[in-house]
Structure 1
Amino acid sequence: MEFLSDSVIQLDSFITLTLGIIVLFIGIKITARIRFLQKYNIPEPVTGGIFASLAALALYLVGGWEVEYDLFTRDVFLIYFFTAIGINARIAQLLSGGKPLLLLLGLTLTYLVIQDTVGYFSALAIGQPGGVGLLVGSAALAGGHGTAIAWAPTIAEAQGVTNALEIGVAAATIGLVIASLIGGPIASFLLSRHNLESEEDSKLLVGIEYDKEERTSITHLNIMGSILIIHVAMIFGYMLNEILAEMGLKLPLFVSCMMIAILMTNTIPMLFKKVSWPAGSNALAIISDFSLGLFIAMSLMGMQFWEVADLAGPLFFLLAAQVAVTVLFILFVVFPVMGRNYFAAVLSAGFAGFGLGATPTAIANMSAVAKSHGPSPTAFIIVPLVGAFFVDIANSFLLQFFLSL
């Protein structure tokens, strides 16, 4: 812990991680006691993260203190999570996701065009530069913090938006919260209205179903074995990421690690049949659930609401327009096109997650639904591929097109 000034407290990565674990437990306890949160599938780390960020806001309002976190370990847990997803991905599931993957990709590309069109022209309608609408569009919402930060200087230079970085970060932060809160209720509405249930007879890819948590068998050996496999995949994933970067293809590190994990899980068990492989195990499910929970909790607890106060008017108008369009698009386009079934309902929760927040938010939304209502493994395979890989590529071309208008 370090006091940078009389009003700023900076916490190192170890203390930040410890607080993240506490915040995650707070979210679990609150969700367990409030039926409303379970009914509408609000992810537990979202509950804890928002609680912590509101506590930080109170600390700022009462004493004028700002808390800053070192979030290095948060990003490590993101890689842990997606590597675990890759270890659970079987070729049969990937093949079954072929048609749904193409459909979701087409829907996502359509949605990105709509999102930027709404943002661009809504900004013009309230007297703001079109670039502001792009920031409160696919740059910050579908793209997340990384894309918003990367494109802010370009938008600032092209359209004279001097506070582009602040707008982008604020939009990405608030979008993350909204995405975390609406995905579950959307799925609950669709499940209830269409009387849908899971037809899968497989284990969850993330976490363990609520009614089975007390009957799982996990040992120190399978926990350590799962962590070892994850680490090996991460090492080779990092090497692949470096090679691809030298070839001019820049991917998020977690995508490369997930690709290596998919390759490993579909080759090593067949070549070395006596090797104990963690795919589908409760140990791996717990590790992935814990990693995702910590990433979400630490992301949300670091929000600083007071920083967006000056941007409140235009920002919230543009965000309200984007939320309305997203909900309508999910209910009347995504859900029908993807099949009007349980898989489509789970996918709808995920679409809200990466459409307004980020891919980890999408997975958290779907995980909350799956833990309550049953597995949908194909959704957990295709959403990261579309949300983490194709969105970044499409965003580059789309944002450049709108900036050239």
Structure 2
Amino acid sequence: MAQGPVTIGEFASFNIAIIVYFLGVRLNRTIPFLNAYNIPEPVSGGLLVAVCALCYYLITGGEIAFSLQTRDFLLLYFFTAIGLNARFGDLARGGIPLLKLLLLTLCYMVLQNGIGVGLALTMGQPTGFGLIGGTIALVGGHGTAIAWGPTLADSYGVTGAVEIGAATATLGLIAASLLGGPVADYLINRRGAKPDPSVHEEIPIIGLERDTEPTAEVTHTGLMRSLLVLNIAIALGVAFQEILSNTGLDLPLFVVCLFCGIVLSNTVPFAFPNMKWPARSKSLAVISDLALGIFLTMSLMGLQLWVVAELAAPMMVILAVQVACAALFIVFVLFPVMGRDYIAAVLGAGFAGFALGATPTAIANMSAVTKQYGAAAQALLILPLVSAFFVDLSNAAIIWLFLG
């Protein structure tokens, strides 16, 4: 007899996520493979919980669901912190790499949709089906897949588009989490992209280096100052998004908050030079690390893997080809174009994260690599700007191009 669904409340889900994160830390220390290939701790623990929920479903027929509203708010903290850490001077110094990465990303998005549509048509499926296996569910993630699902189902003949899109995005997220670390490890150890020990970066853009930052410099006043500025930027982001929505431009809230963080950090410190600003402080880095770690843990442990079993066989073929093509594109195109150095290798890990999953997965992949091999501030700055801002703006246009 099938059991009824089990829904775990918000407070319990948040605390379980913390426990699962530490479970991932223990797994990475215990299983050499996970640590050697830089699998992020939230992925290790979160996937184990998702597998346990799958076993419960197979045995009892009941579903386990976690409340994830806290996860979505942590996403705003994380991206706003990225914006606060961004300086126009850094963008000017890293302008050429940023432009290169943007052009590579746009080309890859066209390639990804071309692969999906081509394979779909070969297997007798409609164009929209192939786009689900392209930038709709992979680069776009769950939100884009759910948003486009009704249109594809009603106007383009894709039966069950919402369900197939959500399941495809789920598998893409798993593949993105598992691919980034091994690809970076290959580029660093097999393709000569080891970090230059003579290059020292004072403060990483995002995250603290493992066991290297003096905790005495993280104070309660610094944490409160960082929280206050984050909350102000998020409040401005919410107001600005409402204004944009009224004009017909509907951007994800985290993108708008990212932009507000950039604007604040490049105006307020100059207008008030004596004000203590939290950008690039260790206190802000602690909050950013916490937000990213729990966000990704909740995302992975909340995956309902039994939904993946409903994927049609043609979509499984498309996904397998997309994962292989992403790895080949990183090794043979992105890595050489971005300079064949350590920064390019870290960008490769991040590119795998958002090309198949989502920007937080990309940051987690890069953070895992930099914790082992050393800081890569430029990579941690330019990739979120491309993946979280430019991609969301261009994805809809590329999708309509293929549907047309």
TM-score range, shorter chain: over 0.9
Aligned residue for 1:68, secondary structure, equals strand
How far residue 312 of structure 1 moved from its aligned partner, in angstroms, is 5.1
- For 2:61 and 2:3, how far apart are their aligned partners in 1? 9
1:209: Cα distance to partner? 1.3
- Tell me by how many angstroms 1:109 deviates: 1.0
Q: Quick one: which amino acid aligns to residue 4 of structure 2? A: S
Select the residue among 20, 29, 39 that pairs with 2:17. Answer: 20
8 Å contact 1:43–1:368 — kept in the other structure?
yes
Cα drift, residue 340 of structure 1: 0.8
1:80 aligned residue (77, 81, 103) = 77
| Residue 298 (1) aligns with residue 295 (2) | no
Instruction: Give the deviation of 1:214 after TM superposition.
Output: 6.7
Q: How many residues align?
A: 400
Asked if 1 retains the 8 angstrom alpha-carbon contact of 2:78 and 2:291, the reply is yes
Match of 1:370 in 2: 370
Between 251-260 and 74-83, report the one with greater CA deviation: 251-260
- Alpha-carbon separation, structure 1, partners of 2:389 and 2:88: 19
User: 1:3-402, aligned counterparts within 5 Å?
Assistant: 6-193=3-190, 194-198=192-196, 199-212=199-212, 217-311=217-311, 313-402=313-402
Please report how far the alpha carbon of residue 42 of structure 1 lies from its aligned counterpart in structure 2 after TM superposition. 0.8
Residue 142 of structure 1 contacts residue 354 of structure 1 at CA under 8 Å; is this kept in 2?
yes
Do 2:3 and 2:61's aligned partners in 1 also have CA atoms closer than 8 Å?
Answer: no
Task: Judge conservation of contact 2:193–2:345 (CA < 8 Å) in 1.
Answer: no
Q: Once the 2 structures are TM-superposed, how far is the Cα of residue 62 of structure 1 from its aligned partner?
A: 2.2
SS class of match (1:212): coil
Q: Secondary structure at the match of 1:355?
A: helix
Q: Secondary structure at the match of 1:248?
A: coil
Task: Measure how far apart 1:307 and its partner are.
Answer: 1.5
State the alpha-carbon separation in 2 of the partners of residues 17 and 88 from structure 1.
26
State the 1:32 CA deviation: 2.7
- CA shift digits 1:229-262 (9 cap, x unpaired): 1111111121222222223322211121122212
* Structure 1: distance between partners of 2:380 and 2:135: 22
Partner of 2:6, secondary structure, is: strand
Where does the alignment leave 5 or more consecutive residues of structure 1 unmatched? none
- TM-score with structure 1 setting the length: 0.94
Alpha carbons of structure 1 residues 32 and 206: separation in structure 2 relative to 1, 3 Å: farther
- Read off the aligned partner of 2:207 and give its amino acid letter: G
Contact kept in structure 2, 1:13 and 1:70, CA below 8 Å:
yes
SS of aligned partner of 2:208? coil
Distance 1:308 1:188 in 2: 29
| Residues 1:179 and 1:290: Cα distance change in structure 2 (over 3 Å) | same
Instruction: Assess, with a 3 A threshold, how the Cα gap between structure 1 residues 340 and 216 changes in structure 2: closer, same or farther.
Output: farther
Q: Which amino acid aligns with 2:284?
A: L
* 1:276-312 Cα shifts (integer Å, max 9, x gaps): 2222222211110110111111111111111121325
Provide the rounded CA distance (Å) in 1 between the counterparts of 2:146 and 2:331.
30
Look up the SS of the partner of 2:64 in the other structure.
Answer: strand
Aligned equivalents of 1:172 and 1:354: distance in 2? 11
Distance across 2 between alignment mates of 1:225 and 1:32: 34
Q: Could you tell which deviates more after superposition, 268-277 or 172-181?
A: 268-277
Q: Cα offset for 1:331?
A: 0.7
String of CA shifts for 1:53-88, please: whole Å, max 9, x gaps.
Answer: 011111112222211222111110000001111121
**Structure 2: distance between partners of 1:15 and 1:145:** 24
Contact 1:40/1:185, CA 8 A, preserved across alignment: yes
**Tell me, what secondary structure is at the counterpart of 2:7?**
strand
The letter for the 1-side match of 2:195 is E
Question: Could you tell me whether the CA contact under 8 Å between 1:200 and 1:376 is conserved in 2?
Answer: no
Deviations 1:308-338 (A, max 9, x none): 2132522221100101111111111111111
Give me the whole-angstrom Cα distance separating, in 2, the residues matched to 1:215 and 1:224: 16
- Report the Cα distance in structure 2 between the residues aligned to 1:245 and 1:84, rounded to whole angstroms: 23
Partner SS, residue 210 of structure 1:
coil
Contact (CA 8 Å) 1:187, 1:349: kept in 2 or not?
yes
Provide TM-score, normalisation by structure 2.
0.94
Mean Cα deviation higher: 82-91 or 199-208: 199-208
State the alpha-carbon separation in 2 of the partners of residues 277 and 393 from structure 1: 30
Query: Mean alpha-carbon deviation: is it higher for 320-329 or for 16-25?
Result: 16-25
